Amino acid sequence: MKKILALALFAVALVSCRQTMQTDGFKLSGHLEGLQVGDTLFLKTFLLPDWKEDGTDTILVEKEGTFSAFIPMEHTTFYLLMHQPKMGEPLRSCIRGAEIIARVGDDIKLKGSLDYLGAVRHSGGFYDNSLVARYDSLTASSNTEMIDIFSQILKYQDTKQNDSVAKYGQMYNEYHRPLILKTVRDSLALKVNDMEYAAFMYASAFVFDATYKDVKERLAQFTPEVQNSYFGQILDKQLLVLKNIEVGFAPAEFTVTDKDDRKVSLSDYKGKYVLIYHWGLCPGTFWVNPKIMDLYQKYHEKGLEVLGFTRDDLLKSLQGSSEEFKKDERVQGLLSHPWTTVYTEEEGNGFIVKDLYFSGVPILMLISPDGITLVRGYTKAYEEVKNILDRNLGNK
């Protein structure tokens, strides 16, 4: 009798444990035309506001056209669903996959096709809210238009019809999201105060260019429940980061290791203008790099220092590139920087990406001799940097 009772209690405990485990995540399912048995879906997790990839859940398709999975999670999370066919290569698209925002306990359903994976429709969870559903519908429609244009580019590239490639390429480059889509997005991110999805929208679409004051005011408008939610806390943490890089404030002291294994601290530049320059292989960097080189040559002896940050050794990034591209004068200019360079991917340097909010390239951040940030921005910030240096160092 005692053994039977013990087994019964164990069974109850096991069921209870399974039920508890099942609530620590969300259910994801979908009907996707073109999905085949044996295909694989990759659900990639991204962290905001820096869009850093943070793991992947793998879903094996067991039934044609449909899939279902339970995804473990601890808090509201942003995902990107991508497809890998059992045979062949993934479909080329201008939109990497289906975006999903889910909470613990949600039951999210997707509907669409693999040809338009970046334009699927969502239901369940936040997507049952009328305003979110409206935004989802408008996004799907806009993404469909973009995918169609991009598909034409690929088609004519394969058939080497260059005139048609140029025609659709121009259409793609000049494509603008519908005004109503931006209006609904802005309404969600800037006006809704009682839903965590609004905090997510603000973190994904606005905090990228927001100031310390902007985020502080927006966070204060949310209900206490949203403020204490996962994405509310993300915005709260971002306040500290933004204050550290805000024009008019003094960034916190830091010490990193440069490419020559030497320790470099912000305080090393006290008494001089220091231009923090975060760069990478992109058109913006190609445009601004020679201009910064000119500023350095003109004002270095008068009190200007440049501290460069990039992900890793450029030569590693160029592996696989053509010899012609490697010899391009723009690339060669990046290989001949006369100032100190720090690789943010090197061990011990990773913290600087978050502390100085290196959210893209190129980023320019001019700090005064007394340690106050004077300018912070992307490519357009160059003119302001130049004007300040011309005004203050030009007559020395």
3-state DSSP helix/strand/coil % of the chain, to nearest 5: 45, 25, 30
Q: Is the pLDDT of residue 167 over 60?
A: yes
Determine how many CB atoms are found less than 10 A away from the CB of residue 38: 11
pLDDT in tens, 286-343: 999 999 999 999 999 999 999 999 999 988 888 777 888 888 899 999 999 999 999 9
What's the confidence (pLDDT) of residue 79?
98
Give pLDDT, residue 127: 98
Q: For 202, which DSSP code?
A: H
Q: Residue 358's CB: how many other CB atoms inside 10 A? A: 21
Please give the DSSP secondary-structure letter assigned to residue 267.
Answer: G
- pLDDT for res 316: 82
Tokens, residue 105: 């306990």
If 0-12 CB within 10 Å is exposed, 13-18 middle and 19+ buried, where does residue 327 land? exposed
Alpha helices in 118-223 (DSSP H): 130-158, 162-173, 179-191, 196-205, 212-221
Q: How far apart are CA 259 and CA 338, in angstroms?
A: 13
Backbone angles phi, psi at 363, to 5 degrees: -115, 130
Q: Average pLDDT in the 2-25 region? A: 47
Place of tokens 């005011």: 217
CATH numbers and ranges of domains, the chain: 23-172 (2.60.40.1120), 177-243 (no CATH), 253-392 (3.40.30.10)
pLDDT of residue 317: 80
374 C-beta neighbours (distance < 10 Å), count: 17
pLDDT at 387 > cutoff 90: yes
Kindly state the percentage of the chain with pLDDT values over 90. Answer: 82
Q: Tell me what percent of the residues of the chain surpass a pLDDT of 70.
A: 94
Flag whether pLDDT at 19 surpasses 50: no
Stated length of the chain:
396
Looking at residue 215, its amino acid is V
Helix H or strand E encompassing 360: none
Average pLDDT over residues 89-95: 91
Average pLDDT over residues 216-228: 97
CA angle 386, 390, 396 (to 5 degrees): 145
Q: Give the max Cα distance, the chain.
A: 98
- Would you state the pLDDT for residue 18? 39
* Model confidence band, residue 23 (pLDDT cutoffs 50, 70, 90): low
What is the Cα–Cα distance from 114 to 92, expressed in whole angstroms? 11
> Is the Cβ–Cβ distance between 53 and 236 less than 8 Å?
no
Angle CA 201–223–71, to nearest 5: 50
Q: Indicate if the pLDDT at residue 46 is higher than 90.
A: yes
Strand 40-47 and strand 77-84: pairing?
A: antiparallel
pLDDT for 337: 97
Whether residue 8 is predicted with pLDDT greater than 80 in this model: the reply is: no
pLDDT for position 396: 77
- Residues 182-206 have pLDDT tens digits of 999 999 999 999 999 999 999 998 8
Encoded tokens for 210: 């927001």
Residue owning tokens 């990039």: 310
What was the pLDDT predicted at 260? 96
Q: Which of 104-113, 198-207, 225-234, 295-304 has the lowest mean pLDDT?
A: 198-207
Range scoring the smallest mean pLDDT among 5-9, 151-155, 309-313: 5-9
As a whole number, the mean pLDDT across the chain is: 92
Tokens of 69: 């999975």
Compute how many other C-beta atoms are within 10 angstroms of the C-beta atom of residue 142. Answer: 17
